[in-house]
A and B are shown apart, each in its own frame.
Chain A
Amino acid sequence: MIQATLLDPRQFLARKSFIELYARERAQALLDEGTYRELLGPFERLISPWLLMQGVVPEFDDGTIVARGKIGGRDSVILAIEGQFQGGGIGEVSGAKIAAALDLALEDTKSGQPVQVVLLLETGGVRLQEANLGLEVIAEINSSLLALRQHVPVVGVIAGMIGCFGGMSITASLCSYLIMTREARLGLNGPEVIEEQSGIEEFDSKDRQLVWGVNGGEQRYATGFADYLAEDDVEAIKRCIVEAFARGLPATHRSEQVDDYLKRLAAMDVSQQLPSSEVRKLWSKGKQV
């Protein structure tokens, strides 16, 4: 079990919160100074064609920032989802920006110019107003990511406070390395969705301890679903990203360890709700990182 560490007060004050930054600011903060260049930025006005039809105010970048630049001196692209806009929901345009950027990174990498791809995931998954197109584009993102990660590692960051849910949680889980903060959450179905579908007895979405005990960054790290547990600090997160890329491709990606995960699930007693400490004990055994 990981002990919660208290930061030194001076360290705490010197820290620059990553969570408090907007997606564009996050990308700017992570890229080496003076290297930031945005592709398909807000002035291109590449808005969702579907939101206005449904009386929903669009955003000029459709909630996704594609930023080129360098991280630790190496060519990189950051795909940052703005969680404030429509809960970071993935629409046709925002999703296509991510999928196309992954494809371009693959092309560059294959032609001998490897690109470090970082996904800043702050999303509830599919944007419901664009249902089928959103689902389709998430499938495209995932297939592009799978193609790219055969050549170079792909790093995902879930900082919070939205977290990463729905189809995009699959994207997070396909990443070669995943970085989370204690404030972040990761799950296929969000707590509210589980409560709505299965009842409050099954899952009380207002019970923060329960929610973070299942979906929280600390628990996800302790159970091997995330590779780094970072403080909410720009430099700390950047350090994790640099370190993750330095590790190169993992021997096997987490999503390839299906048999191992199925075996562990089969051995679990699911007749009763396990406390998060128990889940940690069970899942940290033989943890593959």
Chain B
Amino acid sequence: MEKLRFEYSASQPIKQRAHVGVVGSGDLEVLLEPSPDPKAEVTVTTSVDGFGKTWQLVMDRFFSRYQYAVSIEINDFGATPGAVTLRLEQAVERSLI
């Protein structure tokens, strides 16, 4: 198990908090909440060690597309980068409803 942390500057507010996914094989859960500060903060707890670089790339790409000021907490159980991106997008979609 490994814990990772990422931070980006962000300005766009979101409407509400959102929770998606489960901590099941190849999946993850995302807890997304509005941040009071102009930044996006992501903390990841993952069952798979040694993929910090991959997480960095996935997050860099995600926050190059979205500038939401959010606090995101992820519990990951071996999701692929594609699954991570989809869950993040799903969380954002729910928070904008």
Contacts and interface: CB of A to CB of B under 8 A. Distances in A.
A22 interface: yes
Among B24, B25, B76, the most chain A Cβ lie within 10 Å of the Cβ of B24
A268 B52 CA distance: 60
B22 A42 contact: no
Interface string A45-87: 1000000100111111001000000000000000000101110
**What does DSSP make chain A's interface, helix, strand, loop or mixed?**
loop
B47 interface: yes
Interface residues of A, number: 18
A190 interface: no
Contacts, number: 48
Interface of A: 22-23, 41-43, 45, 52, 55-60, 63, 82, 84-86
Contacts of A60: 19, 29, 31, 73, 75
A43 B23 contact: no
B57 interface: no
Given A57-B75, A57-B76, A59-B29, A85 B23 contact: yes
6 contacts: A52-B1, A52-B45, A57-B46, A60-B75, A82-B24, A84-B23
Nearest to B17: A43
B31 A43 contact: yes
B77 interface: yes
